[in-house]
Chain A
Amino acid sequence: MTQSTQQRRGEGRPASSPTGLPATAAAQAGTQTGTQTGTQAATRATARVIAPSSGAARPDEGAGPAAIDVRGLSKRYGRRTVVHDLDLRIPVGAVAGFIGPNGAGKTTTLRMLLGLVRPTTGQGSVLGHSLGEPAGYLPRVGALIESPALYPRLSARRNLESLAILAGQYHPRLVEEVLDEVGLGERADDEVRSYSLGMKQRLAIAAALLGDPDLLVLDEPTNGLDPMGIRLMRELIRDLSIRDGRPRTTSAGGSVATQGSAMIARPRTVVVSSHLLAEVEQICDWIIVVDRGELAYQGPPDGLLSTGASRVTLRPEHVDDLGMLADLAAGLGLTVDRADDLVTATLPADVAAGLFAGRRATGAGADAGADVGVVGGVVGGVGTGAGVPPAGTDDDPQEAMRALLATLNRAAHAHGITLVEIAPSRVTLEERYTGLVARGAGLTGDAA
């Protein structure tokens, strides 16, 4: 915090290493940024989980250009701290999901980024311009904050025209273009008060699209929409992340690390705040979780999901075998939950992190080069104290999970148990988020 305050007053970045990291951050992240190269290094760097309470400096620095890069962001109203010492870094080209419970400080954070609310402390940049000078970057930002706010007695066209003129971006055809883009071309001359909520939402997004922004901030864009409206909004957001007809790569991490390449000539960064975690999971390749004004996680979804436990469901042919099966799984170091006719074995988070580390390092399209020995090490290590394979090996997590399943299956078979079902399942974003928020703490122990 002190550092943030100093940075704000000093109107510059803090003393930095040659890589641009603050000295402490450079020291902590030095191994990664210094010894790894290319996509793997970049992706790994972006995939780290931040422990807000640890004061750890920004482990994701050096991962490439950032659309939003702020640190020490705080907002206090009297004695109440709404946002506390928030460090945010959203890579250029990411579709970032900004999630957190009601009152977590999401909207206040977005308002601070958009120049509507003055931060109590904090400094950084948005689209390369100082956070303290929103006039520098707001012309390249489109935003929808909370409910759509439009002049009800003006037509959609007139609403957009007045905003475009104000921003110095007016041309009749451009207004037509954004109206068509959100599907309101035919109702453009109707007064906004006659619109449904979904149409107002779309019009507000059209307003945000004026000027073809490089950064789009959408706060609860699906609020109040029916399922069809939500689906349309999801498709719209997906479309908005594509520019010039060039598809963005959507795999977690990979797209972020490679977005500066020629594949995407003009990356647009989208920040979506939403309570609909399934939506976020579907459309976002970058997740930010805030809770009670503090950062709980930021990074690719896989980074969040892999740090949680993974589960295996085991169902024996005979219910009488449940006890022995549970013992077997427990003996392998798995946490066992026994139900009427099945056993759910949960892989501890640290082991799961090791299992899925390979995926973060290699990306979704990695070769399926299974290394059963490593997987054996995982399983064997659980009970024996052997180490988890270091993050960054080229293991395919799917293969690793398959090997784990095979091990369990063999163990069951060796004890005369016939399994009629053995199925892996990973935690969902919702489960992981619920756990995060319930704990009200970061993931220090889970991830790094």
Chain B
Amino acid sequence: MSLVNYATREITCKIVYYGPGRSGKTTNLHYIYGQVPDDRKGKMVSLATQTDRTLFFDFLPLDLGTISGFTTKFQLYTVPGQVYYQTTRKLVLQGADGVVFVADSQARQLEENIESFQDLHANLAEQGIDARAVPLVIQYNKQDLPKDLILTTAELNDALNFRGVPEFGADALHGPGVFETLRSISELVLKRLSSPAK
């Protein structure tokens, strides 16, 4: 998918929030949605199960208006975290310009994080994408929980961030870290404009 269409003067950018179940991907999108001024608000589509888990995916279109003469639109997607939604995850991942990996900072979730992170790489590889070439940012969510329940960002870095991508501690429910993450991934994605992947 071409990110910048010079002919129609459009920039469209697909960012996928990936991560294990209940790590807060949808929460990220909800917080962002809440911050969008009313006149810019698109409709957030959430296909959730009855128990409020993401069944298929969330989709948040962000119309950023005209930037440098380009109509700029971001599409934010989340994947369902639960292991058995593999097919949906692959589907959503298609054509992603950037990936935010939302990890659950709780110590007991470490295994799920690692498993999901490997799943991400496997899915990318399956689509013939070199995971090293995809802009990626890691968010360690739920950093607001009591210290004894969670791992620090340093510990999580050791476990997950072997590639040294930008990482952010976050509290997606209340906001800290959410926009930092989005900004970081957006900038990485845009940076690829000037040095397009071959």
A, B bound? no
